[in-house]
Amino acid sequence: MNKIFEIPLYPYTRHPDQDASSPVRRKVVIVGAGPVGLAAAIDLAQQGIEAVILDENDRVSFGSRAICFAKRTLEISDRLGCGDPLVEKGVQWNIGKVFFDERKVYDFNLLPEGGHRRPAFINLQQYYFEEYLVNRLRALESEGAPVSIRGGSKVTSIEDRGDHVSLVVKTPEGAYTLEADWLIACDGAASPARQILGLDFVGRVFEDNFLIADVVMDAEFPTERWFWFDPPFNKGQSALLHKQPDGVWRIDLQLGWNIDKEKEKKPENVIPRLKAMLGEEVNFELEWVSIYTFQCRRMERFRHGRVLFAGDSAHQVSPFGARGANSGLQDTDNLVWKLKLVIDGSAPASLLDTYDVERVYGADENILNSSRSTDFITPKSEQSRIFRDAVLDLSEHYAFARPLVNSGRLSMPCTYDTSPLNTTDALPDAPARARPGSPCPDAPVGSGFLLDQLGKGFTLLVLNTDAPAAVSVGEVEARTLSIAATKELAERYLGEATSAVYLIRPDQHVAARWGRYDETAVKSALARACGKEL
Amino acid sequence: MANLILTPNLPRADDTYADLLAAHEGLSKAASDALNARLILILMNHVGDQAIIREALKAAKLENESA
Ligand SMILES: Cc1cc2nc3c(=O)[nH]c(=O)nc-3n(C[C@H](O)[C@H](O)[C@H](O)COP(=O)(O)OP(=O)(O)OC[C@H]3O[C@@H](n4cnc5c(N)ncnc54)[C@H](O)[C@@H]3O)c2cc1C
């Protein structure tokens, strides 16, 4: 077997920092080379900030774990320079089917809106996602960007010294001390960093177990998402079948609470279950099997002085709705531009507190959504099961009930409605989807797409009106992108308005908008968006 | 402001009430519970107003009685 997750991609090698006479200070150290740590490093490196990733392991995620990567993640990946390989490899799907008991109750088509560069989402094994991020990081490194990844490097101690962070890194050849101006802890749900610093992680455990299996088969199942409530082959529980690249299928089987995990994980117990689901005649091979209990919880705060938590270390959700890795990438998307401004001295360190505010808000939204899905899939009382089954029965006959069926809501990017970085909406009649706080909706522009032109610093998007080529506040500049609005741009950014000026943050979220350019207003909004008015 | 009607509003109240009972006749407890649940969901959708439904939920809990 030569699976990518069995190959050391960043094996331990001795680093000169280990032999330095006094601890070496790095700009940003990232603990963990999962999807979130890798994205943070690439983002920093692209902006010329030194980033060192430390990971105790030396390879990508064992087994698949995450499989659904949402549109926003693909857009962020585009900004990170690795969207194409993800989308080329990923499986796209639009049709979903819902089964209840022995029958199909309805199907749906996601019918994604046209005029976006990226699909609603793709299915892709997490190990490929990570591999492509590692490739991108390596490419940047070979171009001379200040980024590196150290495998076999386990962080065992973290101390915030006020003006820097001091770490102890354990390697196969012994431990050494390393210093960092800033530390980003992307060390996963079990986060040793969180534990070392004695920080909380509270929330809710769902009393349920899920068998997650990736099987390789050449069966003729279509490229659709199939979800079963209470199927004959898994009575009283749920099941999911979803396609990944390379003929790999993801199967989730709900097992209930009182089970023997070790026993259920054994192939001799897994295989009969899968045969009952797929049919006796289907040939398959198990690629990966695991049993999970899901939790929804988060840290109270994601910023602790010079230590910033991102991804699963900061928040954990049940996988229904695919919000783990997807929201983790939104974390670093939010964090890195702020960290850059602070490191450059162009914004006060308190800007980093807005990372906390905005992403805690995002985490709460994700936790709410994924808790609701879990409550629908696993009703918590007799009465909630009665309602759940009533919804499913009705959904077979009436369209109205279908939106109530909740087997996981698509992961959508968070709109930071209450962010202190927003300026009051001066164009409230324009589309709500582009209000301050929103991630910019994509739209075709010329032969490309809008989002390809956003994300390198602040942008002033000017539609059907005039503005100077750039506006600055201190060292921070917003560059103008002036476009005559096409049909999609008008639909998504103008609505009833005839012209608009949008101030867009480096993470492609709207900070402010107006009908026309007004220098004082734009400057004040730019200052606010950089945290200068906190 | 939502306006939940809590004064008589059924033109033929006795008939409608009888329809409700008739629908449940002969059903097991489980089938009756399921019918009620479906009915609530159908009516909720028909009302289509979150504020009214919230008021109705509160009224059903007998919590906003001024007595
Ligand atoms: C069954 C399942 C299905 C899922 N499906 C989806 C999905 O469809 N979509 C989605 O978006 N998400 C999904 N998720 C969630 C997703 O897998 C996680 O959210 C994601 O992996 C989090 O990434 P991360 O980088 O924060 O942490 P991780 O991927 O956990 O990475 C943490 C890294 O830190 C390293 N590390 C830990 N401790 C130390 C230390 N002391 N020193 C150095 N390194 C350390 C580890 O080696 C690891 O590489 C799913 C999860 C599961 C379990």
Region of A391 on the Ramachandran plot (φ > 0 left; ψ -120 to 50 alpha; else beta): alpha
Q: Which residue has the higher pLDDT, A189 or A220?
A: A189
Question: Which residues pair with residue A448 across a beta bridge?
Answer: A445
Q: Which residue has the tokens 């996981």?
A: A408
Q: Does the structure show a pLDDT above 70 at A109?
A: yes
Please give the pLDDT value at position B1.
53
Please give the pLDDT value at position A73.
97
Relative orientation angle of helices B29-47 and A382-397, to the nearest 10 degrees: 60
Q: Does ligand 1 lie within 6 Å of residue A253's CB atom?
A: no
Q: Does ligand 1 lie within 6 Å of residue A165's CB atom?
A: no
Atom nearest to A326 CA in ligand 1: 11
Measure the N-to-C terminal CA separation of chain A; round to a whole number of Å.
55
| A439 DSSP assignment | B
| A509 DSSP assignment | B
Q: Nearest to residue A152, comparing CAs of A27, A281, A55, A41?
A: A55
**Is the Cβ pair B34, A400 closer than 8 Å?**
no
Atom nearest to A312 CA in ligand 1: 26
Instruction: Give long-range contacts, CB 8 A cutoff, 24+ apart: A475-479.
Output: A475/A344, A475/A345, A475/A346, A476/A341, A476/A346, A476/A347, A476/A526, A476/A530, A478/A503, A478/A522, A478/A526
User: Domain ranges in chain B?
Assistant: 27-62
Please give the pLDDT value at position A64.
76
Which residues 6+ apart lie within 8 Å of A61 measured at CB? A5, A34, A126, A127, A130
The b/e string for B18-37 (b: 16+ C-beta within 10 A; e otherwise) is eeeeeeeeeeeeeeebbebb
| A18 DSSP assignment | G
**Is the Cβ pair B41, A391 closer than 8 Å?**
yes
> Chain B closest CA to A211's CA: distance in Å?
30
Label the pairing between strands A103-109 and A95-100: antiparallel
ipTM metric: 0.95
CA distances from A294 to A203, A215, A397 (A): 11, 22, 32
Handedness of CA A504, A510, A513, A518 (dihedral sign): negative
Q: Does the structure show a pLDDT above 80 at A219?
A: no
**Is the Cβ pair A391, B34 closer than 8 Å?**
no
State how far the Cα of A226 lies from the Cα of A407, in Å rounded to an integer: 10
State how far the Cα of B16 lies from the Cα of B10, in Å rounded to an integer: 8
Please give the pLDDT value at position B67.
39
Q: Does the structure show a pLDDT above 60 at A25?
A: yes
Label the pairing between strands A448-449 and A121-123: unpaired
Please give the pLDDT value at position A56.
97
Q: Nearest to residue A42, comparing CAs of A146, A193, A178, A189?
A: A146
State how far the Cα of A502 lies from the Cα of A444, in Å rounded to an integer: 17
Please give the pLDDT value at position A125.
95
CB A125 within 8 A of CB A67: yes
State how far the Cα of A36 lies from the Cα of A130, in Å rounded to an integer: 9
Report the nearest-CA residue for atom 33 of ligand 1: A32
> Chain B closest CA to A252's CA: distance in Å?
28
Which range, of A203-207, A209-213, A241-245, A520-524, averages the lowest pLDDT?
A203-207
Q: Which two tokens stand for residue A443?
A: 């739209």
What are φ and ψ of residue A174, in 5° steps? 105, 175
Encode pLDDT of A142-178 as tens digits: 999 999 999 999 999 999 999 999 999 999 999 999 9
Please give the pLDDT value at position A206.
86
Mean pLDDT computed over A126-137: 96
Q: Does the structure show a pLDDT above 80 at B64?
A: no
Residue of A nearest to B31 (CA): A386
Please give the pLDDT value at position B2.
67
**Is the Cβ pair A393, B41 closer than 8 Å?**
no
For A474, half-sphere exposure in the C-beta direction (CA atoms, 13 angstrom radius) is 15
Tell me the average pLDDT of chain A. 95
pTM of the model: 0.95
Within 8 A of B37 by CB-CB distance, chain A residues are 386-387, 389-390
Domains of chain A, each with CATH number or no CATH? 4-90+122-200+297-366 (3.50.50.60), 432-529 (3.40.30.120)
Q: Nearest to residue A514, comparing CAs of A423, A432, A450, A437?
A: A423
A143 CB-contact burial (10 Å; exposed 0-12 / middle 13-18 / buried 19+): exposed
Residue of B nearest to A400 (CA): B45
CB A83 within 8 A of CB A75: yes
| A19 DSSP assignment | G
A511 CB-contact burial (10 Å; exposed 0-12 / middle 13-18 / buried 19+): buried
> Chain A closest CA to B37's CA: distance in Å?
6
Mean pLDDT computed over A192-198: 97
Q: What is the 3-state secondary structure (H, E, C) of chain B?
A: CCCCCCCCCCCCHHHHHHHHHHHHCCCCHHHHHHHHHHHHHHHHHHHCCHHHHHHHHHHHCCCCCCC
Within 8 A of A394 by CB-CB distance, chain B residues are 38, 41-42
Among B residues 34-63, those touching chain A with beta carbons less than 8 Å apart = 34, 37-38, 40-42, 45
DSSP-assigned letters across all residues of A441-483: PP-EETTEEGGGGSBSBEEEEEESS---SEEEETTEEEEEEEE
Please give the pLDDT value at position B65.
59
**Is some CB atom of chain A closer than 8 A to the CB atom of B28?**
no
Encode pLDDT of A62-91 as tens digits: 877 999 999 999 999 999 999 999 999 999
State how far the Cα of A298 lies from the Cα of A244, in Å rounded to an integer: 29
CB A428 within 8 A of CB A399: no
CB A461 within 8 A of CB A493: yes
**Is the Cβ pair B38, A390 closer than 8 Å?**
yes
Q: Nearest to residue A462, comparing CAs of A498, A519, A501?
A: A501
Among A residues 391-450, those touching chain B with beta carbons less than 8 Å apart = 391, 393-394, 398, 400-401, 404
Percentage of chain A with pLDDT > 90? 88
Which range, of A27-36, A334-343, A500-509, B1-10, averages the lowest pLDDT?
B1-10
Mutation to probe ligand 1, out of A42, A126, A129 (largest number of atoms < 8 A from CB): A126
Residue of B nearest to A386 (CA): B34
Encode pLDDT of A368-401 as tens digits: 999 999 999 999 999 999 999 999 999 999 999 9
